[in-house]
Structure 1
Amino acid sequence: MALESPTVVFVGPSLPVHSRPNTGGAVTWRQPASRGDLAGLDLPPGSRVVLIDGYLIQQHPPSPTEVSGLIERGHEVWGCSSLGALRAAELRHHGMRGYGWVYDRVVDRTITYDDELVAPLDPRTGEAAGLFMANIRYGLGQLIAAGRASHRGAQTLIDDLRALHFEQRTIRRCRALAMAAGLDTDAIDELLTSDVKRNDAAALITHITNPVPTP
């Protein structure tokens, strides 16, 4: 069932087209946001705007002031996964709503560098051609919880990856560093497929388009 007011979602590599939940037309999908895209929206009062991805490197991203402008105009604004998580953390006391693991880790300052949410993109598809550091952090946490990685090995891998420019965080490089940090092959394979950014984005879209009825 379509929502009464429009929902506009700015998204890119965090939730590629083939991974997007079926919203039955409740969502208008937009490309990652750059400076001016949010201010230029012409929406009826009470519309919902979800900021997931935005340009952090190639172009200027929407500023906190630009996001605040949407809230001041009476719109419901959510953020998760990438630039959306950063802006939601910055504006959490000013009406923006954050969602998901990445948002929580920005708030608690586990993630303090923007480049943990950036990866080189395939120019043909717009999808990530490298690894997001945030996904690696999440995957290591899961492996530690399952007793399949040590805190020391995980920290070694995080430190080694943090020392690299984001464009150098390739699957091949991460695999080699993970082996050197003591992870076994199965654990490494699981780590490299961890995608909490995508999980957060899909869960948020499902949450806002299929709200749980209040008893």
Structure 2
Amino acid sequence: MHDVIIFLGPSLPVPDAVKILSAQYRPPVRRVDLPDVIRVHPRVVGIIDGVFFEDAAVGHREVLEVIKNGIVVVGASSMGALRAAELEPFGMIGIGEVFRMYRDGEVESDDEVALMCDPVTHMALSEALVNIRVTLRHGIETGFFTKDEADLIINTGRSLWYPDRS
């Protein structure tokens, strides 16, 4: 049994993740995945990636139930960052830039982290809008883009259905 269970998908290949942290890696979290976690009772659950549209997204109450059972829940990067920003007042721990962006109100929509991924390999087939934002921010800081150019790109990206963003 692992003390740490992490739900991971397109954010990072599992072989790369294992080099960083020894844990039990599971596919992106879906609604109904967390009751099994409570039964297994690891010390920590990490939510990185989760499903949005192709399956029901993990619910707030499910995460709260894990916390209520004495399991530390940490979120980052994608679905984890979104849920952590929403549930931080109730004990979920958020880490990373995407979490900060949600927590500080820089981004609000779950659409910011939505992307298409291969259901078997979990490889990303589109790009999350939040990733495009961070790239554009770097482009502005280095003088590659003007603020107006970056705004145009973000507004165009926002107008696209998430599977069409690349």
Q: Could you tell me the TM-score, scaled by structure 2's length?
A: 0.92
**Residue 9 in structure 1 maps to residue 6 in structure 2:** yes
Structure number with greater CO (CA < 8 Å, separation at least 6) is 1
In the other structure, the counterpart of 2:55 is 59
* 1:65-144 alignment, distance < 5 Å: 65-123=61-119, 125-144=121-140
Q: Per the alignment, in what secondary structure is the counterpart of residue 73 of structure 2?
A: strand
Structure 2 residue runs without a partner (length 5+): none
Match of 1:29 among 15, 25, 28: 25
- Distance in 1, matches of 2:78 and 2:58, equals 13
Q: Per the alignment, in what secondary structure is the counterpart of residue 36 of structure 2?
A: coil
- Contact 1:5/1:48, CA 8 A, preserved across alignment: no
- Contact 1:34/1:54, CA 8 A, preserved across alignment: yes
Shift of 1:18: 4.2
The number of residues matched between the two structures is 165
4+ long deviations beyond 4 Å: none
Shift of 1:122: 2.9
What do the CA deviations read for 1:46-105 (whole angstroms, capped 9, x no partner)?
A: 710001111111111111111011111111110011111111001111110000000011
Structure 1 residue runs without a partner (length 5+): 171-215
CA RMSD of aligned residues (A): 1.8
- Contact 2:2/2:24, CA 8 A, preserved across alignment: no
- Contact 1:6/1:43, CA 8 A, preserved across alignment: no
Q: Could you tell me the TM-score, scaled by structure 1's length?
A: 0.72
Match of 2:149 among 146, 149, 153: 153
Which structure has the bigger radius of gyration?
A: 1
- Distance in 1, matches of 2:151 and 2:61, equals 36
Quote the sequence identity (%): 34
Question: Measured at CA, do residues 108 and 20 of structure 1 come closer, stay the same or move farther in structure 2, by a change above 3 Å?
Answer: same
Which residue identity does 2:95 align to in structure 1? Y
* 1:157-196 alignment, distance < 5 Å: 157-170=153-166
- Contact 2:8/2:14, CA 8 A, preserved across alignment: no
- Contact 1:48/1:77, CA 8 A, preserved across alignment: yes
Q: Per the alignment, in what secondary structure is the counterpart of residue 19 of structure 2?
A: coil
- Distance in 2, matches of 1:21 and 1:69, equals 27
